[in-house]
Amino acid sequence: MAVQLFYFLSALATLSALMVVFSRNPVHSVLYLILVFFCLTGHYILLNAQFLAIVNIIVYAGAIMVLFLFVIMFLNLRKDAEQKQPPLMKFIAVITGGLLLLIIVSVLSKVDMIQAQKTGFNSQIGLVENLGKVLYTEYLLPFELASVLFLVAMVGAVMLGKREAGERHF
Amino acid sequence: MPEVIANIPLNYYIFFASALFCIGVVGVLTRRNALIVFMSVEIMLNAVNMLFIAFSSYKSDTSGQVFVFFIMAVAAAEVAVGLAIIVMIYRNLRSVDTGVLNNLKW
């Protein structure tokens, strides 16, 4: 059951990621992006990372996507407003992406990856208790620095969004 | 041990994550709408998150999941600032087309 679910979620995530890139309407892109995030959340649950699955829904599907949708509504983009990239550039871009994928896959398919050990396997690492313990002991300093980062980002976003007098406000 | 970890090789997760990452790269290179470029960057970030969680679950090591937590925090901050910049660009140039932003072009 879980194995079929893995294939289903992977296929759905890949397809909707493709739709994000290739759909014309930015609102559709955002909706497909939400679908990608939900598929990845399913993957996290299958991998026993329950805490991150919930955080993924709250942060990505909740906060970030609302921000994206809000900006799209705010900018009032017309469907045909986007200039098309020249065909040569598109061709080169697709070739570049394909080659990147080819190289990564061909290099990594030869590698013998570590397999999970049956003995000593801890299936509880993704729960709040264990993650919290590690986060507040080993990674306490980065955790506190993240709060400074948020403060800087908050001040930066407010400064950038503020309307100033004059014609151009760069 | 979860069923997925017992039955699916780690390589499959690597292939899936690299496919997502390459889709993101193609999106950044082909689209000219700054918002869609931004969304493609988000897809790339999520592909990396996926890989981190897969490795951390297979090794049953917590550090990978803590890293994902930090990546999510940085991504949230990055989105807030980036969207503020896009709104400011739109206010000045009445467009979010990346082709318009050629002042620094050589």
Residue B103, in any domain of the structure: no
Residue B75, in any domain of the structure: yes
Q: How far is B60 from chain A (nearest CA, A)?
A: 6
Q: Which residue of B5, B46, B70 is in closest CB contact with A47? A: B5
Structural domain boundaries, residue B11: 3-96
Q: How far is A94 from chain B (nearest CA, A)?
A: 6
Residue count of chain A, please give it: 170
What is the interface pTM, i.e. ipTM, of the complex? 0.92
- Residue B101 CA to chain centroid, in angstroms? 23
Which pLDDT band holds residue A79 (cuts at 50, 70, 90)?
A: low
Q: Which residue of B22, B75, B86 is in closest CB contact with A100? A: B22
Distance between first and last Cα of chain B: 55
- The verdict on a CB contact (< 8 Å) between B77 and A169 is no
The domain that holds B68 is classified in CATH as 1.10.287.3510
Interface check for A163 against chain B (CB to CB < 8 A): the answer is yes
- The verdict on a CB contact (< 8 Å) between B90 and A75 is yes
Work out the number of other CB atoms within 10 angstroms of the CB of residue B39.
Answer: 28
- Are the C-beta atoms of B58 and B5 separated by less than 8 Å? yes
Q: What local confidence, expressed as pLDDT, does residue A101 receive?
A: 93
Residue B11, in any domain of the structure: yes
pLDDT of residue A29 exceeding 80, the answer is: yes
- Are the C-beta atoms of A60 and B50 separated by less than 8 Å? no
pLDDT of residue B49 exceeding 90, the answer is: yes
